[in-house]
Amino acid sequence: MDLTVTIGNGKLPNPVGVASGTFGYGSEYESLIELSKLGAIYSKAVTLEPRPGNDAPRLVETPSGMLNSIGLANVGVERFLTDKMPFLARQACAVVCNVAGSGEDDYLRVVERLETHPDIFGYEINVSCPNVKHGGLALGTDPVLVERLVRRVRGLTRRPVIVKLTPNVTDITVVARAAENGGGDAISCINSLVGMVIDVGARRPVLPAGCGGLSGPAIRPVGVALTYRVSRAVSIPVIGIGGIMSADDALQYLLAGASAVQIGCATFVDPSIPGRVLSGIADYMTREQIACVQDIRGLLQ
Amino acid sequence: MRQFSATVVSNISLCRDLYRIDFAWDARAVGPAPGQFFTVRVSDSTVPLLRRPFAVSGYASDTRTASAIYQRRGRGTDLLAARQAGERLDVIGPLGNTFPPPKNSQRCFLAAGGIGLGPVLYLARHLVRDGRDISLVFGARTSAGVPAAGTFDGLSPAVCTDDGSQGFPGSAIDYLNTLEPGTFQDTVLYACGPMAMLKEYHAIAATHQCPCYVSIEQVMACGVGACMGCAIRVTTEATYARVCTDGPVFDSGVIVWT
Ligand SMILES: Cc1cc2nc3c(=O)[nH]c(=O)nc-3n(C[C@H](O)[C@H](O)[C@H](O)COP(=O)(O)OP(=O)(O)OC[C@H]3O[C@@H](n4cnc5c(N)ncnc54)[C@H](O)[C@@H]3O)c2cc1C
Ligand SMILES: Cc1cc2nc3c(=O)[nH]c(=O)nc-3n(C[C@H](O)[C@H](O)[C@H](O)COP(=O)(O)O)c2cc1C
Ligand code: FES
């Protein structure tokens, strides 16, 4: 059975990764999950400087989902390389660094620094964070800016460049094509949706930042629909993300056109989910006599 | 820390507002220490989605039975209260840090408010077993929040109720303010309860220059330090600390009290 996924000049051992921001820097889950079974670990966003993140509370639960307003809290690229990469480099699975910034130069300088480390599989360029004022979402809604950024990142590295898109646009396929034109090797689809919860008694939003990013099973149909559309608009692989809790959920993404998937919040709910999604996909392939996971894409009627 | 499927030993009501659940702790997991907590997946469906955190209120190492004292506050704790003896519970633990032990000569003053009772009770029993001299105060809103005396295992706390329906009339903090200043000499303070109470407790500690350790609650998603969601503001360079892994127990001087 062939479970591998080719992205640019790299190959992932299997299609099930863990999504950025939901898996820290890997070591947090070491005693709960067999990390070597993961297709890839997508790191928490890495920025040029350390970021303390947004004011508390940063989380609120919603029906079958949650809103987060973390604000890209992270240790910054230098400490990422010295404190976090040694652990990640020891793992058998691929390490993809999620890169974020306030402007184009920030992204480029982070990638430049990360290029010095030999054990990074590739980059996931986060042009879609709903929780920061500059960069992030604003950048990711403008196809011209996305294409230029991806082209400049492309100029810095031969490693796979994955572009992570926001669903908060009128037509996601326009931004996806811009990422492909810029030289991106794959599209991650989707980041969280902008949402708000209001405390009626206090007459104010529960999150001090007002809005946050909605994720979890509640957004799965949105993720599947956008994966379906994006995979038909570009010829590079699509990585489906959003609300995956089971192998069936992941198979929806693969049938919709994804080459791989990422599990986000579900790991919070039950850390055994990433492993069970992978074994469930393998069981499905055995049952349906599918030799190659990449063939699932063509099976949608 | 491990994820395990635990068998519920008992799940009983202690008073109108509080319940106690006892369950078998996994033999391969380290036994939980005072201050530590665990998370439970309360629902098999996606509502409520996130695991719920609870402090350990006791642990018998001979029978490997752990317990937690909890209040029904919403969907998650309603589902927890519905679990029957013999049913399974999806648990991850032990999580978080522990209360630091007192120095040699120090007396210990422990305060609990409402659902802060669990971790404080566990610490109290631990300290008494170690031959420590402790005082315990417990505050609830009304007598409906005060468990029967048996729950306290002969620790005889000073019980306070905001409405005066049982014990000292007023909050645990009001009670502390009636004590002789000498009470706090060479004493270490420990507490768990609502933020407003902990803030005042910290002020008392600062006045008497006592070391003070508080156990903090914050909404959590992962519980293991991965999501950065449970942040609270601290005075150190990091600006924020994660309650789940840097805490839940903090030196009260490190917290930015608002
Ligand atoms: C480290 C830690 C230890 C805890 N120990 C105990 C304990 O020993 N006994 C106990 O009864 N409770 C404890 N809690 C609080 C407990 O987790 C919440 O009461 C529970 O999650 C509420 O779930 P629910 O679905 O019933 O209520 P919800 O409907 O989710 O919420 C009801 C109310 O509880 C608040 N709440 C929700 N989640 C949390 C949370 N994680 N922390 C604080 N408040 C929350 C909400 O803001 C709301 O006001 C602890 C929390 C933490 C972080
Ligand atoms: C707490 C939290 C933090 C996140 N941080 C990041 C991040 O740093 N970078 C990023 O690209 N996406 C981030 N995300 C988005 C997830 O990677 C994912 O796209 C989204 O949660 C949808 O997947 P899910 O429904 O499976 O959780 C974060 C999500 C959550 C819940
Ligand atoms: S709850 Fe995720 S870091 Fe604390």
Whether residue B94 has a cis bond before it, omega within 30° of 0 = yes
The residue extents of the domains of chain B are: 2-95, 107-217
Q: Could you tell me which of A181, A119, A107, A113 has the C-alpha nearest to residue A147?
A: A181
Q: Closest ligand 1 atom to the C-alpha of B244?
A: 1
pLDDT of residue B153: 83
Nearest Cα residue in chain A from B49:
A64
Q: In this complex, do A32 and B2 lie within 8 Å of one another by their Cβ atoms?
A: yes
Rounded to 5 degrees, φ, ψ at B59 are -150, 125
Quick: pLDDT tens for B157-214. Answer: 999 999 999 999 999 999 999 998 888 889 999 999 999 999 999 999 999 999 999 9
Cβ separation A24–B221 shorter than 8 A? no
Query: Per-residue confidence at A136, pLDDT binned at 50, 70, 90?
Result: low
Rounded distance between C-alpha atoms, residue A193 and residue A166, angstroms: 7
Q: How many CB atoms lie under 10 A from the CB of residue A56? A: 19
Give me the CATH code for the B2-95 domain, please: 2.40.30.10
A191-246 pLDDT per residue, tens: 999 999 999 999 999 999 999 999 999 999 999 999 999 999 999 999 999 999 99
**Per the omega criterion (within 30 degrees of 0), is the bond before B248 cis?**
yes
Residue to mutate among A23, A28, A31, A35, with most B CBs inside 10 A, is A28
pLDDT digits (tens, 9 = 90+) for A140-150: 889 999 999 99
Among the listed residues A1, A21, A3, A25, the one whose alpha carbon sits nearest the alpha carbon of residue A12: A3
> Is residue A134's pLDDT more than 70?
no
A272 touches chain B (CB under 8 A): yes
| Architecture of the domain defined by B107-217 | 3-Layer(aba) Sandwich (3.40)
**CATH level 3 topology of A5-298:** TIM Barrel (3.20.20)
Phi, psi of A100, rounded to the nearest 5 degrees? -135, 165
Percent of chain B with pLDDT over 70: 100
What residues does ligand 1 touch, defined as CB less than 6 Å away?
Answer: B 37, 48, 52-55, 68-71, 73-77, 115, 118, 217-220, 248
Q: How far is residue B258's CA from residue B234's CA, in Å, rounded to a whole number?
A: 11
Per-residue pLDDT at A260: 98
Class of residue A76 by CB neighbours under 10 A (exposed 0-12, middle 13-18, buried 19+): middle
Q: Is the CB of B226 under 6 A from ligand 3?
A: yes
Burial environment of residue B176 by CB neighbours within 10 A (0 to 12, 13 to 18, 19 or more): buried
Asked if A193 contacts A222 with a C-beta cutoff of 8 angstroms, the reply is: yes
Quote the CA–CA distance of A8 and A160 in Å, as a whole number.
Answer: 5
ipTM for this model: 0.95
The pLDDT value given to residue A135: 55
Cβ separation A22–B227 shorter than 8 A? yes
